[in-house]
Structure 1
Amino acid sequence: MSQDRPAAINFFKGHPSFRLLPGKEVALAAEELLTPTRRDFDDDTKNRHPLTYGSDEGALWVRQVICDFNNDETFRFATTDKARSKPEFLNLNSGASYGVLSILLESTLAHTGYTRQAFVITPTYFLINDCFIDAGFSNKITAIDELGGGEIDLEGLEIKLSELEEEHKGEDDSTDLQLISNPLKPYHKKIYRYVLYCIPTYANPSGETYTLETRQKLIEIARKYDMLILADDVYDMLNYDQPLNRLAQPPKRLVHLDRETNNDPESFGNTISNATFSKLIAPGLRFGYHESVTQKLAYQLSQGGANTSGGTPSQMNSMIVGTMLKNKSAHKVLNNLRAVYRERSSALYDAVKTYLPEGTHMEPLHGGYFAWVTLPQGYNAKVIGEELQKQYSVVLANGSNFEVIGDTRNWGQRSVRLSISFLEAEEIVKGVKLWGCVCKAFAKRNDLNF
């Protein structure tokens, strides 16, 4: 991995430029939160003092503020829309990466085979493999292809699910659940037979956004096969097409669509939104949340052993973010990020079209951090990237980093991921221009069109 390798220009880094980090706004929110000797919620067991152990699910007032933000200011649901969230549907956590692992540990059981298989959309976020391996899914991960145009290979997914169902037909593995059942607790965990990981909006690394039809069909398949869809909803509010004078309105999340069409109040649902404020405010806050269809799965996640031991893991930071949502400073931070990233995304697209070989493929960025660039046939993206780094100290994220372990697609041969979050527009243009110089030299040596 080259994310932290010293470089003059690093397209691998997937976090905001330091100048975009809202130190002043965070400091003011922390002062507003911590300066009073007492707050009216300090002794409330559902909220608690910001510097003490939090409640298991996280502060109720913060969960309410997040719901208000999502329901009314971003997704803008009608008051009668069943997609609207409630505080009890949320479990606060320490960010999306920890969120994924806690979901896998608390709702799947790969080690015994009760959860039979994990599916990961490819190309995928380059560190997600570790979470699945940590949760026992080594050699149990199947890649499902993005098809472009907001579609994924749903047919291939269902074929594989059908094969697995036939393979395990008649098995009785219900005793496996006793391994994770605490006899002192009055409830039993919901463990899913299958799990699928995806980033439905402005995906990392491809930038793809799934269509409504794709989302609905995926939910239907999940219900049919007792599969949990683990959706990383981390980029969807970073839209660059909508006006900047108000917050962007993202497409409905999978959890919203699942809730709208789920009429069973006792259901755990088949989707979970794994959301974070790392991309919307600052990653160092390490604060995010799970949102489930009803309160049942969110509550289950809040009752994990590590969580109940110390309460919600980001008590103070969650309240800092809650304060920023209440005083609207978070809105200003988010819209500033959108404005800067919009400029950078345009600079990147124009530079790719200007300096890279004819036939290079890149879709315009509509949101998120990343562009997926594929060089023409005959070019070797990995070799070119190594030469680019050696000659000019420009680092690209080669496509080989975004494979699903054990089910690869050779993404590194021609594709790379470029991030717009860390580099300024002029650095982006300079880096792509230098990349083009190396591509041109490679073309000349290998008798390719440029």
Structure 2
Amino acid sequence: MSRNAGDINFFRGYASLDLLPAQEIVQATTDLLSPKSRDYDTDPQNLHPLVYGSDEGAHWVRSAICHFSNEAFQLDAASSSKPEFLNLTSGASYGILNLLAQTTLPHTGFTRQAFIVSPTYFLINEAFIDAGFGGKICAVTETDQDAVDVAFLQEQLELFDQKHATEDHTADPALVNAPDATIPKKLFRYVLYLIPTYSNPSGKTYSIECRQRLIELARKHDMLIISDDVYDLLVYDQPLDKAPKPVPRMTFLDRASLSKGYNGYGNTISNCTFSKILAPGLRFGYQESVNKRLVAQLSRGGANASGGTPSQLNSMIVGTMLNNGVCLTVLEKLRTVYKRRADILYESIKQWLPAKTIYERQTGGYFSWCTLPDGYDAREISAILLNQQGIVVPDGSWFEVVGDSKNWGARCFRISISFVHDATIKEGIQKWGNVCREYATEHSLEF
């Protein structure tokens, strides 16, 4: 299946073109570049927008992000963001690659295992394989209580600890430290990847209790938790005329629960992007850790040291949009449009799909998870929709953790509201329902 095939596309994970803030980006770029000079053009922490930037990214942009984040999440002093806790990136996808390259060493067995919450973002597998985790990836499933299977994860961590207890990897970190390095890299024994708020693909949001339990496990077993925090500001079940109050990010919880004077690296990293709340073509994001130590390590990687922050110009365009309030205006528009689409999707599914279809109203983000009743084959129905109706709706097999399948393709689908319009949603779900009705008749199923 091509992500761009079909007349009605419930696959695409980016905003419909009419929602992209083109004029706002033009204005921000003009405001940024029109002056002959800026007061930070020669400041080594910032530099001119069109030259190589500092390794960690412009300080004023990081400050703007922190102000935006602290306001959005209503953070107190114990959990609030500071510029030195951030490293700027060219988006969440490249952020993951940098994270794995700079904090794990699976090739020698020093980093023992990667855990990925399943169902998962369908392209994350390749990033872990590129980083050397082929054959070292285990799926951790979600539960029905807005959590992941923490008990299973704990059991697996204890088993791996016992299995590798007698191994000596003291020399391994030397492989990834420059001979003249004054600060050795912090490498983790395990890594966990998840999207804890409005998850892709399930749409679930994990409870604070679940997040805290995961942090406790991570501290005990030297595990890094990588959270893709990319959808959490797209909140639909709160008043749209007020700024959203999302669930606290895991890094905020990790930071707030550390003892005073803590000088370690923490066990969480928030991997963020502006692709979902502004435009993916900007290719700009950031990483945040509990203090400056881990993100400083990320900013010192070879690529950053060579070229500086990977998105100098676009980071400053976004920083300008943060400072002039445009980001909040764009976010309010997206929340309004996406909430309407989510409501139309829910009503359409209840009207047109089989009566015992399992589907919950989408409360935020881009995606939701739909499970047909027993007897319906999601793979077959997905193929019929594409080939006969020109409708792209991916079955659950796309969202497996590589090498640890949970058979999500049997009955499940992921649905995206980001690219489809109101009328298209209604038309697409109605045609999907017609296909299901014909399928039920053909296979003697209840509809």
Shared fold, TM over 0.5:
yes
Question: How far is the alpha carbon of 1:97 from its aligned partner?
Answer: 0.4
TM-score, normalization by structure 1: 0.98
Aligned to 1:47: 46
Question: How far is the alpha carbon of 1:150 from its aligned partner?
Answer: 1.1
Secondary structure, aligned partner of 2:403: coil
Structure 2 counterpart of 1:204, one-letter code = N
Question: How far is the alpha carbon of 1:243 from its aligned partner?
Answer: 1.4
Aligned to 1:209: 205
Structure 2 counterpart of 1:223, one-letter code = R
Q: How does 1:215-294 map to 2 (within 5 A)?
A: 215-263=211-259, 264-294=261-291
What is the CA–CA distance in structure 2 between the aligned matches of 1:305 and 1:203, rounded to whole Å?
Answer: 31
2:382 to 382, 385, 390: 385
What is the CA–CA distance in structure 2 between the aligned matches of 1:71 and 1:230, rounded to whole Å?
Answer: 20
What is the CA–CA distance in structure 1 between the aligned matches of 2:387 and 2:268, rounded to whole Å?
Answer: 44
Query: Residue 77 in 1 paired to residue 75 in 2?
Result: yes
Deviation per CA, 1:211-250, whole angstroms, max 9, x where unpaired?
0100000000000000000000000000001112232111
Query: Residue 368 in 1 paired to residue 365 in 2?
Result: yes
Query: Residue 129 in 1 paired to residue 125 in 2?
Result: yes
What is the CA–CA distance in structure 2 between the aligned matches of 1:211 and 1:446, rounded to whole Å?
Answer: 40
What is the CA–CA distance in structure 1 between the aligned matches of 2:165 and 2:111, rounded to whole Å?
Answer: 14
TM-score, normalization by structure 2: 0.99
Question: How far is the alpha carbon of 1:186 from its aligned partner?
Answer: 1.1
Are the aligned partners of 1:116 and 1:194 in contact in 2 as well (CA < 8 Å)? yes
Secondary structure, aligned partner of 2:106: coil
What is the CA–CA distance in structure 1 between the aligned matches of 2:280 and 2:446, rounded to whole Å?
Answer: 42
Q: How does 1:92-107 map to 2 (within 5 A)?
A: 92-107=88-103
Question: How far is the alpha carbon of 1:149 from its aligned partner?
Answer: 2.2
Deviation per CA, 1:166-191, whole angstroms, max 9, x where unpaired?
11012111111110111222100000
Q: Bigger CA drift: 380-389 or 197-206?
A: 380-389
Aligned to 1:347: 344
Are the aligned partners of 1:2 and 1:12 in contact in 2 as well (CA < 8 Å)? no
Structure 2 counterpart of 1:59, one-letter code = A
CA RMSD of aligned residues (A): 0.7
Secondary structure, aligned partner of 1:275: strand
What is the CA–CA distance in structure 1 between the aligned matches of 2:273 and 2:385, rounded to whole Å?
Answer: 34
Structure 2 counterpart of 1:77, one-letter code = L
Aligned to 1:109: 105
Q: How does 1:292-441 map to 2 (within 5 A)?
A: 292-441=289-438
Secondary structure, aligned partner of 2:88: strand
What is the CA–CA distance in structure 2 between the aligned matches of 1:169 and 1:221, rounded to whole Å?
Answer: 17
Aligned to 2:2: 2
Are the aligned partners of 1:148 and 1:208 in contact in 2 as well (CA < 8 Å)? no
1:163 to 153, 159, 172: 159
Query: Residue 88 in 1 paired to residue 88 in 2?
Result: no
What is the CA–CA distance in structure 2 between the aligned matches of 1:33 and 1:211, rounded to whole Å?
Answer: 40
Deviation per CA, 1:354-374, whole angstroms, max 9, x where unpaired?
000011011111100001000
What is the CA–CA distance in structure 1 between the aligned matches of 2:422 and 2:160, rounded to whole Å?
Answer: 48
Question: How far is the alpha carbon of 1:390 from its aligned partner?
Answer: 1.3
Q: Bigger CA drift: 87-96 or 162-171?
A: 162-171
Deviation per CA, 1:3-25, whole angstroms, max 9, x where unpaired?
122x1101100100000000000
Are the aligned partners of 1:373 and 1:416 in contact in 2 as well (CA < 8 Å)? yes
Structure 2 counterpart of 1:136, one-letter code = G
Structure 1 counterpart of 2:341, one-letter code = R
Q: Where in structure 2 are there 5+ consecutive unaligned residues?
A: none
Are the aligned partners of 1:265 and 1:294 in contact in 2 as well (CA < 8 Å)? no
Secondary structure, aligned partner of 1:120: strand
Aligned to 1:145: 141
Are the aligned partners of 1:2 and 1:397 in contact in 2 as well (CA < 8 Å)? no
Q: Where in structure 1 are there 5+ consecutive unaligned residues?
A: none
Deviation per CA, 1:375-426, whole angstroms, max 9, x where unpaired?
0000001101111111110111110000000000010110000000000011
